[in-house]
Structure 1
């Protein structure tokens, strides 16, 4: 009986936003406090994938968080072209969902329509995890000359992404594309449960990173 009451209380705290809000803050608040990025003579903007989905017509499209990341990367690129002679966008995202196209390939047309030049767009479409994002991007950048590196992803994803990129000796400037918000109240909300699940996934992922590093698996 006690376990049921505790479980119900936890469910309500998450669904009503009171526990979800601090969970979100623990993973994304730091990513929202970084200073604005500075463009070097040769700037590389790394965009991390956030999944794909089928729309009402059955067309494969980027998920909402991915669209925000795409928009942020395109905006950075436009600003970069005004300030620097060399700007490149690297899109990193394979096909972990088993859809008909990798994330990077699916996102490319949106970036092109946002006026990212084809010659400045590089696709990494093999990675299935954030760790592999960092691993494969590091391989690409070994052959690239750059003096400014930026990482575009959602605020909640940024701490874990930075851990993985630093593992491969990359120290990008973080640029958060969006943040999740918990709505506190009395009534439970599905969006709060989704946000709580995302925050817990990121926290578990960071714990996993340190455990794997301790065992030499990362």
Structure 2
């Protein structure tokens, strides 16, 4: 039940949804004063969540900072969390792997493997589609593994955990596999920078100590150009949605005891 509500709740967190609701209420209300206030609130929401400077500042505050992993003699396993790595919404005439918004998660795991910082890669994530959603990827972990193998990772160095549907289950099922197959290794957690805080807390809750190695950064260097803070833009609206999703996800996980 928590899984269902946690996934459907995010549809109400989109700034675009809030803007639409504000304008819809303003359109149908007969009270002139209330209509003016609703329009004012909607304009304020558009400015805040569409403001590149403000959204970037929030991202810089929330995203986990870049880290380094030493290439020493300690055996290490990269634990890669799926969720947007593969684009399964587009059909192709061949067996190519199309990458999606979070593909940098796989890219950072590949980087660690190629430079010898990790020797094994555990890909965690199963099918998490809901009945009313359009089917995307049947097995994103398998497709991510296929991409890594095409990029030069040995098949024997990849382990799949394909039962988990959310971050909590990523930690639960991955913890069991890590303790079973790699008990004497260090664990490097690879996920997006905005998702890292919740992911680290989930793994710690399951008794797994991880070294964070974030990727898929959305924030950028600070810019004080007038265009960054004077006018809203659609890219910032999309970025603010993913930021709100992570903030609310962290709070909800805290409430139910997953962290």
* TM-score bracket relative to the smaller structure: 0.7 to 0.9
Counting only pairs closer than 5 Å after superposition, residues 1-218 of structure 1 correspond to structure 2 as: 1-28=36-63, 31-34=64-67, 36-39=68-71, 40-51=73-84, 52-53=86-87, 54-55=89-90, 57=92, 61-65=98-102, 67-80=103-116, 87-97=119-129, 98-143=135-180, 144-181=182-219, 184-213=228-257
**TM-score normalised according to structure 2 size:** 0.72
C-alpha separation in 2, matches of 1:60 and 1:142: 31
Equivalenced residues, count: 207
C-alpha separation in 2, matches of 1:100 and 1:37: 31
C-alpha separation in 2, matches of 1:60 and 1:19: 35
C-alpha separation in 1, matches of 2:137 and 2:48: 38
Asked if the contact 1:154–1:178 (Cα under 8 Å) also holds between the matched residues in 2, the reply is yes
Asked if the contact 1:62–1:103 (Cα under 8 Å) also holds between the matched residues in 2, the reply is no
Q: Structure 1: 5+ residue runs without aligned partners?
A: none
Asked if the contact 2:125–2:161 (Cα under 8 Å) also holds between the matched residues in 1, the reply is yes
Can you list the C-alpha shifts for 1:33-92, whole angstroms capped at 9, x where unaligned?
Answer: 54x113453211111112233237487733121x21111101101112xx67xx110001
Asked if the contact 2:97–2:147 (Cα under 8 Å) also holds between the matched residues in 1, the reply is no
Mark the structure with the bigger radius of gyration: 2
SS at match of 2:52: coil
SS at match of 1:55: coil
Change (3 A) 1:110 1:9: same
SS at match of 1:64: coil
More strand by share: 1
Q: Structure 2: 5+ residue runs without aligned partners?
A: 1-35, 130-134
C-alpha separation in 2, matches of 1:99 and 1:8: 34
Q: More relative contact order in 1 or in 2 (CA 8 Å, sep 6+)? A: 1
Instruction: Supply the RMSD in Å over aligned alpha carbons.
Output: 2.3
